[in-house]
Amino acid sequence: MKEEFNNSSADPASNAATQAARDEARLDVIKTRIASVMEGESVVTFLEMNNVKIELLSDPINWAASTLTITTVRDGEYFYKDPKILLKRDLTDDNLLQAIVHETGHLNQHLSKVGNPDRILSEREYILFYRAAEADAQALCTEVTWALKQAGDAGPWNAACNAGYKDICDAYEMMVTADPSSIENGTAKRIAFDTWFSKPERLAGYNEATADNMIPFLAKGREIFKNHNMVEKPLDNTWVEKLDSASAKSYLLEVGNRSLLRDPYYSENTQLRPAPKKVAANNNTPAAPGDTPNPPVMANPF
């Protein structure tokens, strides 16, 4: 004889509350891990000071994304509310950790007033702007997960490697092995940043995301917020300085480094687009975090 319980009368609200409590406890453990190293303390402090809500979802559009609501655009400055990080619940804790650090990097950019341009750019410079934002967020992730690895918690580092960033991890590790002081002086983080630009398929994905999503998105915002007062002008050193100052340590200024504005390495191949993907009819498995780019602001902001 087979017996079964009838669960049809279960209280959906009670189930949701139980799941939320489990998610919160899980995220608390992950944030404690992040804060266990000096490089991660500022990440957790940022999340707490800005009341960033982290949500685990069963079936999100993207495995990992950060969202903000734009309340207005005035005199070239974006104003926001409701910062969130949205993550796929069935990711491993190691993958969640590295994704939280990366997405915190993006939220920090926006709340530091360097998440979106304060002017109207050419397509080439829009692509440069958002490439740099993505490279900066991944450089932060590399820095924090390396510190965790050195402290005996290597899971998030391995998760980042497996999420499409092994080239960046390898370059960072090679640098700190050759020169341990490169962690403190920012050289290792700059190597991670620069290596982001070395992978053509990565560039192609972000070229497409910027041209097809972000440029129309920003144009819509200027139509809605008439006081944006933005004019067409190229990027200049104020952008580099603002992006650098958003970091816990200076590493993007030109002293001893390539110039983000003048070195074609950072802005070349803006015409690249991803090759069409062949997906089997019965394969519904999404790409892992890092394989597929998200627009820099994943939100319905207006």
Tell me: the pLDDT tens digits for 258-274?
Answer: 899 999 999 999 999 99
Q: Is position 292 within any domain?
A: no
pLDDT recorded at residue 14: 82
Q: Is position 61 within any domain?
A: yes
Q: Pick the closest to residue 128 from 206, 75, 72, 67 (CA basis).
A: 206
Contacts of 167 (CB under 8 A, 6+ apart): 195, 198, 199
pLDDT recorded at residue 228: 96
pLDDT recorded at residue 293: 47
pLDDT recorded at residue 9: 54
Q: What is the pLDDT of residues 99-122, one digit of tens each?
A: 999 999 999 999 999 999 999 999
Q: Is position 93 within any domain?
A: yes
pLDDT recorded at residue 99: 98
pLDDT recorded at residue 302: 43
Q: In degrees rounded to 5, what are phi and psi of residue 81? A: -145, 170
Contacts of 165 (CB under 8 A, 6+ apart): 138, 141, 142, 290
Q: Is position 18 within any domain?
A: yes
Query: What is the C-alpha separation between 3 and 114, in angstroms, rounded?
Result: 60
pLDDT recorded at residue 10: 61
Domain count, the chain: 1
Q: Is position 274 within any domain?
A: no
Query: DSSP alpha helices (H): ranges in the chain?
Result: 12-35, 38-49, 93-111, 123-150, 155-160, 166-178, 182-185, 187-196, 200-209, 215-224, 237-245
pLDDT recorded at residue 299: 44
Q: Is position 4 within any domain?
A: no
Q: Is position 300 within any domain?
A: no
Query: What is the C-alpha separation between 172 and 183, in angstroms, rounded?
Result: 9
Range of the domain at 145: 13-266
pLDDT recorded at residue 7: 52
pLDDT recorded at residue 12: 76
**Using an 8 Å Cβ cutoff, are 109 and 243 in contact?**
yes
Q: Is position 244 within any domain?
A: yes
The series of mean pLDDT values per 10 residues for the chain, 302 residues long, is: 51 86 98 98 98 97 95 96 97 98 98 97 98 98 98 98 98 98 96 98 97 97 95 97 96 86 96 81 44 44 44
